[in-house]
Amino acid sequence: MNEQIAGLAPECVWRIFAAICNIPHSSGEEGSLREYLRHTAEQAGLHCRADEAGNLMIEKPASLGWSGCRTVILQSHLDMVPQVVAGYDFNFSVDAIPAAIKDGWVVSENTTLGADNGIGVALAMAALLADDFNHVPIKAIFTVEEEIGLHGAFSLPREWVSYPHMMINLDSENLDQLFVGCAGGIRANFSFVPAWEPPPPGHFTLKISLTGLLGGHSGSDIHLPRGNAIKLLARFFKEAEALAPRISSVNGGSRDNAIPREASAVCIVPGAKRDALLKLAADYETALKAEFGANEPNIKFAAATHPAVKKTFSADFQQRLLEAVNDCRHGVVDMSTNIPGLVGTSTNLAVINTAPDEIVICTSQRSENDTRRKQLTTSLTAHFERYGAVTHIGSEYPGWEPQPDSHLVRVFQEAAVKILGKELEIAAIHAGLECGVIGALNRNLEMVSFGPTMENVHAPGERVNIESVRKCWQILRHVLENA
């Protein structure tokens, strides 16, 4: 164990976090961490239960005189995102996280730190183990596989959350904010069976590539004035229609929760029109740079020679595919009716892949309102099916509609004024949190999401601010005393 980190204040939190850094706990490998928490809790005389999915619940009764108070759930997830700097020798399944103290932060320079959500787990465990303050009944729920689809939250037994009145999700990243809502989401994929033709003689083969876009998270960055590589590539082929390029394959994007940064297509073009297509590509790069300016400073659009291909899309299929992509909605659909300035509903055209016998387009839709999200997905389904696609719906999770005036919010604001000297900013996030899934199991559950300040989450160099952890612990203690 890293004793320097374990000795930070509050030691009750940091000692647990230092132990967590020593235990491998990537998504799907949370078993050792779960057993550490279970053993630690049982040694303290606390009641523990695990479900079939691997989620863990630990219960602590109220302090003497507090037994009639409402129960508070403390909720965190056990898994972390394993990312490492290229060339750095590290195995997340075996090695301890190389955490260090630097300039007021705990950081792992060459790997992810796992403060998301290890520091939330440590805060919850510290509350369970502490004996130096009075508190309401506490129930801690630690979920698995949050980072790969909220799997643990979806598997929670309903009875675990049926009677508690309040829940604090400890999975936020800014001490100054209190989150009271999040978007629900769904993934809708559309597959086409392409019609193929052999390439005629006298054609050149080119690869058309769009690279250098900023991309970003399809929830938190969808409102920014950034390009979608798939949409922009399809637009180019629409503009090049008179030059008769015929596409052989098209690929773009990498993940359905990311705005696509790159896209490319291999195509043929009649020999007599090759130079015109190359000039159009150069002009298109100039036009894109003018269109996006400083919002996309690294755009590159290029056409280069490519080995000959054996087949291309038929003219009819290519036209249908390009129209489906060009006319597909992408970006913000409406703004929140609950939180000023927050996106309410959005859709992301995320991935397009060419397989030997299939073209697959992946999209994701988000909304703070489940009805609007479903309506948007229905509209997209009708759009793509009009062009001959087959729809596949999956990975749906509910939203969490904001409750900015709840009793729990008021208690947090009282604590913040006492400890920080100011109220917390009430916020919501246009992305998925476990609160949406858990809230669907108990519609009467008051919820907030709260945590210390973190940076570079999900990336090497992830770090958590030491002073913010101390203040977070003080606020949490106050809330548990007064909820």
Last residue of one domain, picked from the residues 371, 397, 423: 397
Task: Please list the active-site residues.
Answer: 79, 146
Cis peptide before 117 (omega within 30 of 0): yes
Tally Cβ neighbours within 10 Å of residue 94. 7
Residue closest to 119 by CA, chosen among 453, 431, 474: 453
Q: Are residues 49 and 154 in the same domain?
A: yes
pLDDT at 380 over 80: yes
Least confident span in 1-10, 197-206, 267-276, 394-403: 394-403
* pLDDT on residue 456: 82
Asked whether the predicted pLDDT for residue 257 surpasses 80, the reply is no
End-of-domain residue from the set 358, 376, 397: 397
Q: Are 258 and 283 in contact (CB under 8 A)?
A: no
- 239, 305 in Cβ contact below 8 A? no
pLDDT digit string (tens) for 288-311?
A: 999 999 999 999 999 999 999 999
Regarding whether 320 and 372 lie in a shared domain, the answer is: yes
- Which pLDDT score, from 0 to 100, does residue 247 have? 98
| 213 vs 215: CA distance, rounded Å | 6
In terms of domains, do 177 and 245 share one? Answer: no
- Report the CATH number at residue 37: 3.40.630.10
pLDDT value for 362? 96
Q: Residue by residue, what is the 3-state secondary structure of the chain?
A: CCHHHHCCCCHHHHHHHHHHHCCCCECCCCHHHHHHHHHHHHHCCCEEEECCCCCEEEEECCCCCCCCCCCEEEEEECCECCCECCCCCCCCCCCCCCCEEECCEEECCCECCCHHHHHHHHHHHHHHHCCCCCCCCEEEEEECCCCCCCHHHHHCCHHHHCCCCEEEECCCCCCCEEEEEECEEEEEEEEECCCEECCCCCEEEEEEEEECCCCEECCCCCCCCCCCHHHHHHHHHHHCHHHCCEEEEEEECCCCCEECCCEEEEEEEEHHHHHHHHHHHHHHHHHHHHHHHHHCCCCEEEEEECCCCCCEECHHHHHHHHHHHHCCCCEEEEECCCCCCCEEEEEEEEEEEEECCEEEEEEEEEECCHHHHHHHHHHHHHHHHHCCCEEEEEEEECCECCCCCCHHHHHHHHHHHHHHCCCCEEEEECCCCHHHHHHHHCCCCEEEECCCCEECCCCCCCEEEHHHHHHHHHHHHHHHHHC
256 or 160: which leads in pLDDT: 160
Same domain, residue pair 12 and 161: yes
Q: Quote the Cα angle for 66-167-50, to 5°.
A: 95
Same-domain status, 213 and 362: yes
Contact 339, 240 (CB under 8 A): no
Say yes or no: 269 and 414 in one domain: no
Closest CA to 76 of 185, 153, 8: 153
Q: Into how many domains does the chain fold? A: 2
Higher pLDDT, 219 or 104: 104
pLDDT above 90: residue 482: yes
pLDDT tens digits along 47-62: 999 999 999 999 999 9
pLDDT band for 157, please (50, 70, 90 cuts): very high
Token pair 């390439």 is found at 199
Q: With pLDDT > 90 as the criterion, what percentage of the chain qualifies?
A: 81
Q: Residue 451 and residue 35: Cα distance in Å, rounded?
A: 24
Calpha distance 188→393 (Å, rounded) = 5
What CATH number should be reported for the domain holding residue 358?
A: 3.30.70.360
Gap between the Cα atoms of 449 and 443, Å rounded: 16
Q: Are residues 334 and 433 in the same domain?
A: no
**CB proximity list for 190: less than 8 A, separation 6 or greater:** 324, 360, 361, 363, 381, 384, 385, 389, 390, 391, 392
Residues 12 and 49 in one domain: yes
Residue that has been written with the tokens 């490519």 in this structure: 306
The greatest distance separating any two alpha carbons of the chain, rounded to the nearest whole angstrom, comes to 89
Note the pLDDT tens digit of each residue in 406-424. Answer: 999 999 999 999 999 999 9
460 and 432 housed in the same domain: yes
Pick the closest to residue 328 from 386, 401, 373 (CA basis).
Answer: 386
Q: Are 317 and 198 in contact (CB under 8 A)?
A: no
pLDDT of residue 10 exceeding 90, the answer is yes
Cβ-count burial of 207 within 10 angstroms (0-12 exposed, 13-18 middle, 19+ buried)? middle
Tokens linked to 144: 């698995």
Could you tell me the residue range of the domain that residue 373 belongs to? 186-397
Amino acid at site 214: L
Q: Is 405 exposed, middle or buried (0-12, 13-18, 19+ CB in 10 A)?
A: exposed
172: closest CA among 480, 444, 386, 457? 457
Pair 106, 22 in one domain: yes
Work out the angle at residue 361's Cα, subtended by the Cα atoms of residues 359 and 366, and round it to the nearest 5 degrees.
170
- Beta strands 300-305; 203-211: pairing state: antiparallel
Are 239 and 357 members of one domain? yes
On average, the pLDDT of the chain sits at 94
Residue 469 pLDDT grade (very low, low, confident, very high; cuts 50, 70, 90): very high
Domain C-terminal end among 350, 381, 397? 397
Q: Are residues 30 and 158 in the same domain?
A: yes
First to last CA, the chain: 34
